[in-house]
Amino acid sequence: MNLHPQNLLGSLLESAVSSRCSTLGRAVHAHIIRTHDTPLPSFLSNHLVNMYSKLDLLNSAQFVLSLTHLPTVVTWTSLISGCVHNRRFLAAILHFTNMRRDNVYPNDFTYPCVFKASASLNMPLTGKQVHALAFKGGQIYDVFVGCSAFDMYSKTGLRVDACRMFDEMPHRNLATWNAYISNAVQDGRCLDAIVEFKQFLRVHGEANSITFCAFLNACVDMLRLDLGQQLHSFIVRFGHKEDVSVANGLIDFYGKCGDIVSSEKVFSRIGKGKNVVSWCSMLAALVQNHEEERACMVFLQARKEVEPTDFMISSVLSACAELGELELGRSVHTLAVKACVEENIFVGSALVDLYGKCGSIENAEQVFSEMPERNLVTWNAMIGGYAHQGDVDMALRLFEEMTLGGRGIVPSYVTLVSVLSACSRAGAVKRGMKIFESMRLNYRIEPGAEHYACIVDLLGRSGLVDRAYEFIQNMPIQPTISVWGALLGACRMHGKTKFGKIAAEKLFELDHVDSGNHVVLSNMLASAGRWEEATVVRKEMKDIGIKKNVGYSWIAVKNRTHVFQAKDSSHERNSEIQAMLDKLRGEMKEAGYVPDANLSLFDLEDEEKASEVWYHSEKIALAFGLIALPQGVPIRITKNLRICGDCHSAIKFISRIVGREIIVRDNHRFHRFKDGCCSCKDYW
């Protein structure tokens, strides 16, 4: 069937919009100018205004409209909807005002656009004025106009007006119910959302993916896994399980409720119908449930099926950060650059977090400085990176720049945890206490368990154990595991067995199966030479079936992770490792290194103690790194427990002897060794 020439030109302009091709659109416009007299027919003018506005070429759209003889409501609505489509909400309202000034009356397509613009700008007064105009013209009773007005009131916080609007609507379609349920969830009225969902099923009956996902979000916010499971059964029973959008919502729901097994079952049943949202949902669910290794594997599978998105890349970067997988993170960074999403604020924030948590603070600083815009998460990630390094000066400088530099960013609960943590790791008692005491007054943030734990750690590390214990006694909230754990660690560090035993007893009450607390108490007693008491603690552990966490250190070389335990001799290059250890031992002895025999927590002779500490896992991993990595490449070691004092001292010597930078990430912080010094300045 042959199309009329004008219809053909209209179809070409629509193709330019759908393909986002302004070149095609301008070419069609040029052809129209050559083949038509001015003024152009309104049919073509409308198409041209729509094309230019949808492609965010507003100057061209306005120019075409200005040349149009008597623009109609369709012409103006095309311009207004294009502005809203490209998030130019203020321009949309201005053009709506100009339309009314030209005595053109809006229709049922114009009003939803203007309501959306008012809601997005949080301008309820403008929304009310538009509502009055729609009421005066009778369009407010149109189901789409009424739904848009209701949505505007909900999003601008006018709950009473929204409810009145909903109650007065003579007809409600599926979109109206979806808007009500979704806005109720966003407003924190999850129970109300669930009640209305049931009411909707009674009066309307046929839900869609938006309805189901809104209900699932309500279940997540209420921590009601059982309700979500009931909905899942409803979905299967009424034949919606094949809808990939519903399946994606279920993956997200189960992931947020901690049921990762169900997430994976839903994901696997989608089969070949998986879209990019399916992969993103599964990836996010794994990261949220601390399954970082599996998240990385899912990402690698997703790369074979779909193009990576900013959400997907930021999620896998978070997984890499938690794993300390710097090289994999660098590869993902490269992928982000290729996908042109590295300037996305979420990807950029994830990169800052990755490099900060992996000890590459220079890379974190570079990404941070090159970001075109930053949000609170970005600033928190950078401050957290300095906190991991124990660089209190840079952490506080950045904190002051963020809060006092005219940027208008208000710190969050997490920001202050990072700042206080930096103070703790650097021993900045006065500055840390000043910030803690100003939390309520300056930032209106009520201190939480994490903040109190930081202060106990700050005071305890500085040797003020008595003051730390007094601080705990005066806390307005019940001390948590992290608070008593900080005190126990300080007592271990400074040999304060009296307070250490109190802290340990409190920890046993709160978590009687954590081996770490028993081990720290035993080690503290052993360090004080109280071997009999230490033995009793170890025997109690054995009697109640608590096993000590095994210490591991690992290092990545050529895309392979090599894991070591203390006294490990199972590695395929063990003979070379032992030779390197012997060589280092001799060179270190000549340089003045003396093993800290007190850190061998067994009642042995001094010579046996020296041998005991020499074969700790981090030293073995370091020896392997020296033989496996080329000169000039930093050696990066990760340890699942805290590095011991003798290993810390030994690695300082080794860094000077071999002329290498050595970075150790333990379960508490980073240590960067170079030229015989550590970034922690021996305060840890």
Pull the structure tokens for residue 258. 């901690």
* Residue 405 DSSP code: S
Residue 544 has which token pair? 């109640």
Instruction: Please tell me the distance from the alpha carbon of residue 552 to that of residue 568, in angstroms, as a whole number.
Output: 10
pLDDT of residue 388: 85
Beta strands in 525-608 (DSSP E): 553-557, 560-564
Instruction: In whole angstroms, give the CA distance from residue 399 to residue 227.
Output: 43
Fill in the DSSP letter of residue 665: E
| Distance between CA atoms of residues 356 and 334, nearest Å | 17
Are the CB atoms for 274 and 305 separated by under 8 Å? yes
Find the helix packing angle between 326-338 and 310-323, rounded to 10°.
170
Mean pLDDT by 10 residues, the chain (684 residues): 65 85 88 84 89 92 90 95 94 95 93 96 94 92 92 90 88 87 89 90 83 93 92 89 91 95 94 91 95 93 91 94 88 91 91 92 94 92 90 90 78 94 89 92 92 94 92 93 89 86 86 73 74 74 70 87 90 93 90 68 42 80 94 90 84 92 85 86 65
Residue reference for tokens 């009329």: 4
Burial class (CB in 10 A: 0-12, 13-18, 19+), 253: buried
* Residue 604 pLDDT: 36
> Which is nearest to 32 in space by CA: 68, 62, 74, 73?
68
Distance from C-alpha of 406 to C-alpha of 437, rounded to nearest angstrom: 23
Q: What is the pLDDT of residue 667?
A: 79
What pLDDT was estimated at residue 83? 95
Question: What is the reported pLDDT for 5?
Answer: 67
CA angle at 124 for the pair 122 and 130, rounded to the nearest 5°: 120
Give the residue from 38, 41, 66, 39 showing the smallest Cα distance to 52: 66
Nearest to 172 by CA among 216, 214, 142, 136: 142
Q: Where are the alpha helices (DSSP H) in 68-173?
A: 73-85, 89-101, 110-120, 124-137, 143-155, 159-168
Neighbours of 194 (CB within 10 A): 21
Residue by residue, DSSP assigns 259-299 as: -HHHHHHHHHHHGGG--HHHHHHHHHHHHHTT-HHHHHHHH
Question: Which secondary-structure segment (H or E) carries 447?
Answer: none
CB 29 within 8 A of CB 49: no
Please give the Cα distance from 85 to 457 (Å, whole number). 52
Are 485 and 521 in contact by the 8 Å Cβ rule? The answer is no
Which helix (H) or strand (E) segment holds residue 636: the answer is strand 635-639
Q: How far apart are CA 373 and CA 366, in angstroms?
A: 14
Nearest to 14 by CA among 23, 3, 25, 5: 25
> How many other C-beta atoms lie within 10 A of the C-beta of residue 212?
25
SS3 674: strand
